[in-house]
Structure 1
Amino acid sequence: MNAITNTSPITARRLRPGDPIEHRTLTTIGGDRIALPDPSGLTHLQFRRFAGCPICNVHLASIARRHDEIRAAGIREVVVFHSPAEHMRPHQGRLPFAAIADPDKVLYAAFGVGSAARAVLHPSAWSAPLRPRTWAVVAKGVRAGGLPTPRGQSVLGLPADFLIGQEGTVRAVRYGRHAADHWSVDEILSEAAAAPSRR
């Protein structure tokens, strides 16, 4: 079953601050249904790569550690992977925020999130998996039954971050230039603090 319900055709163009998004209902890998946008506040919607991606999982661990701080700032965290839900559950099943499986890349297309060889060619991307703490995070998912590599999926996906207002307008956006190019928690909080001026 597709975990994404949308109300109009998708588009491949990149979004900019001020652009509206279509209202959608998303189903998490745990079976919960959530609304996008969140009618109660801001949403940080981030697009990652494949479920076992070491860069992605270390980044998500940093967000999980500060999730209470993110929630206190009025931000709902939502992460999307282009992996099936069964591949995601061992790696992302214990996250304290919503994780969405989008193997058909419906949301990726709608938000203009693509792929490129530069995703893994930048020094920040290919050096990140060499760090000891990276493999500790990935090994945890593998021990839970997850795949370490992207079976049938590309390693060339690029990340993207969107801050979306409760009315459905993009408040801020970052399209990653490589696999490790994403907002830190401090940047998420900074974008959210500036968001009211962009209404």
Structure 2
Amino acid sequence: MTDDVRSHRLRPGDRLASFTLETLSHGPLQVPSGGLLHLQFRRFAGCPVCSLHLRSFARGRDELAAAAVQTVAFFHSSAETMRPYHADLPFPVVPDPERRWYGRFGVERSALAGAHPKVVWSAIRGMVGAPSNPFDGEGGKDGLPADFLVGPDGAILDVRYGAHAADHWELEQVIALARANR
């Protein structure tokens, strides 16, 4: 974590320039999309905490649709490594092994990313209840999560930079934020 990375953190009110994402199995995605977007930055492809988290969003896809928000998940792993874990998700996932988008959004790393009791519990639940492998995926195990709610015009409406691997917006929080920003 450097001051340089911290200085590039996005804040509510910042505006994204238009760009296109290449997704794992949903084709190209234009950002901003003309609707509300929840961009979530996860860790490595086999991360059990991440897999458990994303499966909750997959189960909540009807609730997300009712709140008129689309979720997109980023991983700092290759498409090949991600495919066994995330190709079946009902929303776009973006391989980013070079961490290009992580850098653009100011998403950080920490050697202590996995050193929190909530992470341990989530990892155990993820290894049992979601496709995962804690040893599979490029980019190391030190990635931190981040969440962004992006408006139809590219404005950052809300943001959360996680302090540990399980510090992220839950489905209910994303839905509440989407409803509050309609």
The two structures have a TM-score, normalised by structure 1, of 0.84
**Structure 1 residues 31 and 62 mapped into 2: Cα distance closer, same or farther (>3 Å)?**
closer
Q: What residue is the counterpart of 1:5 in the other structure?
A: none
Query: What is the number of residues matched between the two proteins?
Result: 178
> SS where residue 78 of structure 1 aligns?
strand
**Structure 1 residues 98 and 152 mapped into 2: Cα distance closer, same or farther (>3 Å)?**
closer
Q: What residue is the counterpart of 1:27 in the other structure?
A: 22
- How many Å separate the matches in 2 of 1:12 and 1:151? 28
- How many Å separate the matches in 1 of 2:8 and 2:16? 12
Q: Which runs of 5+ in 2 are unaligned?
A: 1-5
CA RMSD in angstroms comes to 1.9
> SS where residue 113 of structure 2 aligns?
helix
1:136 is aligned to 2:131: no
Q: What residue is the counterpart of 1:102 in the other structure?
A: 96
The two structures have a TM-score, normalised by structure 2, of 0.91
Where do residues 35-74 of structure 1 align in structure 2 (5 Å cutoff)? 35-39=30-34, 41-74=35-68
Q: What residue is the counterpart of 2:141 in the other structure?
A: 155
- How many Å separate the matches in 1 of 2:137 and 2:7? 25
Q: CA deviation at 1:152?
A: 4.2
**Structure 1 residues 27 and 195 mapped into 2: Cα distance closer, same or farther (>3 Å)?**
same
> SS where residue 193 of structure 1 aligns?
helix
Letter in 2 for 1:187: Q
Q: Percent of counterpart pairs with the same letter?
A: 44
Q: Which runs of 5+ in 1 are unaligned?
A: 1-10, 142-146
> SS where residue 115 of structure 1 aligns?
coil
Decide which structure has the larger Cα Rg and report it. Answer: 1
